[in-house]
Amino acid sequence: MVRLMRWTVALVVVVLGIASAEAAKPAAKPKKSLEQRFSQLDKDNDNKLSLDEFVGKRADEKKEKATKRFGKLDKDGDKYLSLEEFKAGFKKKN
Ligand SMILES: [Ca+2]
Ligand SMILES: [Ca+2]
């Protein structure tokens, strides 16, 4: 009987340990796909990002960086980022 109690206690400790480990994790936020991010930025839903859409609410230095980034990502220089151009910008750094 005592032995059974120990097992029960051990089991509870393990379960609680797992539960608290789960709780300790930062709320599992499903990683947004690039497609989702792209469509979020694409305010007018024309399937391309203008500089304004890409820069968004950034200001000052961040805006400058985003503007430069935009220029680099816009491979064909049409002043819009296609989804492919947008995605390519994220693939480089792995
Ligand atoms: Ca757009
Ligand atoms: Ca382009």
Q: What is the mean pLDDT of residues 16-42?
A: 83
**Confidence tier at 93 by pLDDT (50, 70, 90):** low
CA of 44 to the centre of ligand 1 (A): 5
CA of 41 to the centre of ligand 1 (A): 7
Residue among 80, 6, 75, 3 nearest 43 (CA): 80
Residue 82's DSSP bridge partners are 48
CA of 42 to the centre of ligand 1 (A): 4
Q: What angle do CA 65, 69, 75 make, to 5 degrees?
A: 160
- Evaluated on CA atoms 37, 69, 55, 83, the torsion sign reads negative
Put simply, whether the predicted model's pTM sits higher than 0.75 gets the answer no
CA of 24 to the centre of ligand 1 (A): 39
Name the superfamily (CATH) of residues 2-91: EF-hand (1.10.238.10)
The answer on pLDDT for 90 being more than 90 is no
CA of 78 to the centre of ligand 2 (A): 5
Which ligand sits nearest to residue 82's alpha carbon? Answer: 2
CA of 77 to the centre of ligand 2 (A): 5
CA of 68 to the centre of ligand 2 (A): 14
- Between CA 48 and CA 79 the distance in angstroms is 10
What are the distances in angstroms from CA 9 to CA 2, 17, 23? Answer: 11, 12, 21
Q: What is the mean pLDDT of residues 19-31?
A: 74
pLDDT at 56: 96
pLDDT at 43: 97
